[in-house]
Chains A and B, each alone.
Chain A
């Protein structure tokens, strides 16, 4: 991805070559499975499809990566995206106003991120528990608002926009690229990012270095919330509807997997944020390969879980950076 050309002045962002080699091997394995079982996979149109599939995951994984670099986790992202998609879609259906509808999705998701951020940063609550509870709240709220009925009749203009292909690439792919490049830039250059990496590496030392750890941590959840807002807009546009079951627990797992495979350390303080977007692409390829090889849903879940554990173990035993 083009992000590779960006400056990465942060030394901690670098990962070991061994890890990169393992990821490349996995990619090769997935591609050969596809080559054998689904030779049509490599047609240009299908490849573009894959990019579209990966784009929403990539946006959320980018937000998750920011939180993980600070040493936290946000399990509520996909469910928050679903709830906010529902909210915005209801507004669109009622008024036909696309821009305000999209804005509602973005602002609501950012606000949910702020709630997580205040709970974790300022109140010192455990990220896992806070965001798991938030996942339950947002999931419940979405079902409650919609009675589990999908909100369709999204104005055609909105849906049409997401089918456009300026410069040959569909709009969702371009959005994901833009988010990824912007995030990569900010996470390598901003004061906020520098402080967030420092907190993820060593929160005590960060305090001594005059970093206001509470504010910076809270900000990281706000950023993740914003990514869920963007994902909500993309989901609604692509599916031409919004519903409570846009999100699922397996999507949470996919977001975390994308980060972990993309080189974001679950222990905080290490990894480059654009790796998460590449991780999302890999997860999407993996899903397609497992499908093509007619692996059962259950076995496929087991394989995805095993890959996460393998990478976390890898980071645990072969350390940060290299």
Chain B
């Protein structure tokens, strides 16, 4: 019933050293329709788009544009085939004008100079095509995020592409700006452009897309009309069949008291009025899709990112005090999602990494007591069974699981009452994952409160006592330990009640 698709990618495979990024993936996009491309982190979306852009070459598979095979060996070939990429507005050049941004890679010239007249005139035409009357001479840095996005779309439209790729364009847009973007996409659609739209936001896909393709672990697991499936089915396709393992057993504290109460935490555009409590010895899963504000919430809590408003109350020994995020950062252990970039000092030894946040405790008169350092590190290496030849080994040379244990070790030395764990099992093999989860479980059993982020539901369900569902920076629901995977998945497609009202 459908017309032949404008773009067809068939059996695309691509392997990088050590990983298979794409395994016979499929993608088809029709002219005059929006194809949503979705998938969890690492599903292969970026690789597929890089192949389309001529940035990465495919190992196997064929690409057809308007029924004709294309090679796509270079970005130029991709342009010639009619592909256009809308860059994120973060890539715009803020000190330059709208027209300069649009024409930055190919200024129209007269003699040796840039022809500003033609530049402005054509920019105005392109923007008008998007329904905007932005002044081409305006400085981009003065524009709203939404307007910058339009400038980026105009830049992509300049070469008159027949297929436009939007890569997570709405991440930083306000609801009103998002509406306008969708209007633009609809009008481009009406002009016969094929659109590939990458997004993590389920509600948006149902609002704007005609078709949807789901990638998981490099394979296309679903492709079809959006109307043919429900939101829950879509999330299930993204997450895949869950491989449940038994819940880890744990001794619960008899009378757990509230340790932490967060009230109305806000950060403009990122965290929206978040309130919750954590009890001692409790593991709470912060459950949401990538880009929902999970990492941002954790970073704001420990003072690594600023907050606009909100209060944090800490209760210990019957006394409750209000503390700032910086103070919470001193009391809580924080395991970042970016182990190598933020969690560890790769050039330093295992021992040095372990004692880094607790140097004061093992020093006298401002001097580190080396004997104390070695004892402290040795204790942690033994307690967490970190596999290392000695504590002098460089941490960069450890396996991922052991590196992550080293990150845990540095916080455990201070016996924190609260641990914030952001994707603590990312990139680890199955055994290492289980070891980390056991550790989390054991710590909670000893009375530590844990806030845990994971993209893998089957991990959360092994240790969590409660779930907070986060969507677009808001906690939209709280589910009990007994929540089924089905319920958790459905919760992700919840829509913010205020969005509907808007």
Contacts and interface: CB of A to CB of B under 8 A. Distances in A.
Interface of A: 7, 9-12, 186, 189-192, 194-195, 197-198, 201-202, 204-205, 207-211, 269-270, 320-321
B349 interface: yes
Contacts of B341: 202, 204-205
B330 A190 contact: no
Contacts of A205: 341-345
A194 B410 contact: no
B356 A191 contact: no
A195 B359 contact: yes
A205 B367 CA distance: 22
A142 to B, nearest CB: 34
Interface in B330-350: 330, 334, 336, 341-349
Nearest to A205: B342
B370 interface: yes
A208 B336 contact: yes
B367 to A, nearest CB: 5
B46 to A, nearest CB: 23
A10 B352 contact: yes
Given A189-B370, A208-B304, A11 B392 contact: yes
Can you list the 4 inter-chain pairs with the closest CB atoms, starting with the nearest?
A: A11-B349, A210-B357, A191-B359, A209-B356
A10 B394 CA distance: 11
**Which of B330, B346, B368 gathers the greatest number of chain A CB atoms within 10 Å?**
B368
A191 B367 contact: yes
B482 interface: no
B252 interface: no
19 contacts: A7-B370, A9-B352, A11-B392, A12-B345, A12-B347, A190-B366, A190-B367, A191-B367, A192-B366, A194-B352, A201-B347, A202-B342, A204-B342, A205-B342, A208-B334, A208-B336, A209-B345, A209-B410, A321-B347
Interface of B: 304, 329-330, 334, 336, 341-349, 352, 356-357, 359-360, 363, 366-368, 370, 373, 392, 394, 410
B349 A210 contact: no
Contacts of A210: 329-330, 357
Nearest to B393: A11
A194 B366 contact: no
A165 B270 CA distance: 67
A191 B348 contact: no
A260 B410 CA distance: 33
Contact of A208 (B342, B370, B392, B394): B342
Contact of A269 (B330, B347, B356): B347
Contacts, number: 74
Contact of A191 (B344, B346, B347, B360): B360
A194 B345 contact: no
A209 B357 contact: yes
A6 to B, nearest CB: 12
A197 B356 CA distance: 11
A194 B368 contact: yes
A11 B360 CA distance: 19
Q: Which of A194, A270, A321 has the most CB of B within 10 A?
A: A194
A97 B343 CA distance: 54
Nearest to B333: A210
Most chain A beta-carbon neighbours within 10 Å: one of B330, B343, B392:
B343
Contacts of B329: 210
Contacts of B347: 11-12, 201, 269-270, 320-321
A136 B349 CA distance: 41
A209 B406 CA distance: 13
B384 to A, nearest CB: 17
A209 B358 CA distance: 9
A207 B356 CA distance: 11
Contacts of B304: 207-208
Nearest to B335: A208
A208 B359 CA distance: 14
Contacts of A202: 341-342, 345-346
Contacts of A270: 347
Nearest to B355: A194
B345 A189 contact: no
A11 B348 contact: yes
Given A190-B366, A209-B357, A209-B410, A11 B330 contact: no
Contacts of B392: 11
Contacts of B334: 208
Nearest to B364: A191
Contacts of B357: 209-211
A205 B338 CA distance: 10
The winner among B347, B359, B394 for most chain A CB atoms within 10 A is B347
